[in-house]
Structure 1
C-alpha cells in the first residue's frame, strides 16, 4: 500500500488544551512551543500568527508574550526545541558503547528515520535557511548542542580507523554534513523529485529502499580503500 508522506500539518500531533485556571508555567511553555513548532512548520515565520499559536496551545495570547517576548523570539525558541529533541535522541543511541562500524550504521539509520517521522524539522530548517540562518546564528544554545556530537563522531571515527574499518582521513564535520544531506535532500525535495522522475518517492517501498541505499552508501564511503 502506498504510504505517501503527507503534508507537515497532517503529521504533527495536536497540542492538548490546558484546563482553565491551571497554573503550571512549565506546562504552558511546553504547550506553546509545541503549538509554535506546528504553526511555523506549516506557514513559516512570515505566515505564522500568534493568535493561532495561542489557540493551538489553549492558552491566553498574552502568555505567549509573557513567556517568549515576541514572534521572532518564539520562532528561535521553536528552532532550539526541534534541534534539542533530535540531539537528545542521538544521545540515547549511546554510540560510544558500540563498535565503530555498528555505531555509524545506527547513526545513519537514525538520521534517516528521524526525518521520516518529523517533517516539521525539515520544514523549519527550510524556512530558517530562507532567512539566512539569522536565528540559528545568534543562538549560542544551538551552537553548543552540536559540539558534543562532533566530538563523539571524531572519537568513533578514530576507533574505526584503529580497527581498520574506517579510513584514516575522515573529518567528523564533513561526515556529519554528508550523513544529514543524504537523508535531508530526499525529504526536503521529495515532491519535486517525484514529479521530475515520475515516481512516487513517498511510498513505504520507496522510503525503505532509499534508507537501505543511504546506510550502505554512507558506510561504503567511510571504509578503507583496498
Structure 2
C-alpha cells in the first residue's frame, strides 16, 4: 500500500501521475485554472444528473471552456467523472487531517471526528450524491484508481492511531476494528441524510429541522462513544 509522505493532495497528485496522466507544461497557470473550472462545473453536473445524465456541453458552458478542452485534459466523460470522484474523496480526507486529532485527548478526538463527519455531509451533499452514483455503477470508475488507495490508507492510519492512543490511555476498549469504526461513523450520518425525504414521511417529522439535526448528532456521538469507550 502506498505511503503518504507529505500532504494527501500531493500523494493524490503523485497517484495521478503514476496512472499515466501527462502533466501540462505549456501555459501551466491558464491550464490549471481551466481545469479547476471544469472540475468544479463537472462536480455540480454529475451530482445533479449522475454520470449518465450529465452533459459535457453543459459542463463546458459552466466552466467557460469548450468540449474539446475537456477531452484534451481528461480524455472522456468517464475519466472526468473518475477525477471528480478522486477529488471528492481527497477533499474530505484533507479536511479530516486539518482537525489535528493527535492534539486532542482520545475521547474528545473521537467526538470531534463524529461531529466533523456529520457536518461535512450536511455542508457537502454533492459528495453523498457522487458516492451514491458511483455505487449504482458498481464502482467501475474507481477500480483502477491510483489515488483512492492512498487516500483510504491515510484515513485508516488516522483511525488506527487514534484507537491505539485511546487504548493506551485506558479510555477505549481493546481490539476495536478501525475499518469497521470508520464505516459506522460514516453510515450513521450518511443514511439519515440520504434518506431524509422518505424518512420525513415515514416518521412524520422534518428530518432537516434544526432540532432534529441536533438530536441526531447527539445520538451519533453517543452511539460511537458507547461502542468504543470502556
Per the normalisation by structure 1, the TM-score is 0.87
Any gaps of 5 or more consecutive residues in structure 1?
1-22
Which of 35, 48, 60 is equivalent to 1:29? 35
* In structure 2, distance between residues paired with 1:70 and 1:196: 41
Name 1:199's counterpart in structure 2: 205
Name the CA distance, whole Å, in 2 between partners of 1:204 and 1:27: 38
Cα distance in structure 2, aligned partners of 1:97 and 1:136: 33
CA contact (8 A) 2:110 2:225 kept: yes
Identify which of 114, 130, 152 aligns with 2:158. 152
SS of corresponding position for 1:198 = coil
Task: Return 5+ residue gaps in structure 2 as ranges.
Answer: 1-28
Measured after TM superposition, the shift of residue 127 of structure 1 is 0.5
Compute the RMSD of aligned alpha carbons. Answer: 1.0
**SS of alignment partner, residue 69 of structure 2:** helix
1:164 equivalenced with 2:167 (yes/no): no
The answer to whether the aligner puts 1:41 opposite 2:47 as a matched pair is yes
Q: What does 1:202-213 align with in structure 2 at a 5 Å threshold?
A: 202-213=208-219
Of residues 85, 90, 112 in structure 1, which corresponds to 2:96?
A: 90
Range with greater deviation from structure 2 (183-192 or 113-122): 183-192
SS of aligned partner of 1:112: helix
Measure how far apart 1:150 and its partner are: 0.7
Count residues with an aligned counterpart: 202
Matches within 5 A, 1:13-24: 24=30
Alignment of 1:70-89 (within 5 A): 70-89=76-95
Where 1:135 maps in the other structure, the secondary structure is coil
1:116 to 2:152 alignment: no
* In 2, Cα distance between equivalents of 1:195 and 1:25: 47
TM-score of the aligned structures, taking structure 2 as reference length: 0.85
Residues 166-208 of structure 1 deviation map (CA, whole Å, 9 limit, x = unaligned): 1002010011000000111111111111111111101122112
Deviations 1:118-152 (A, max 9, x none): 00001001100000011122212012111011112
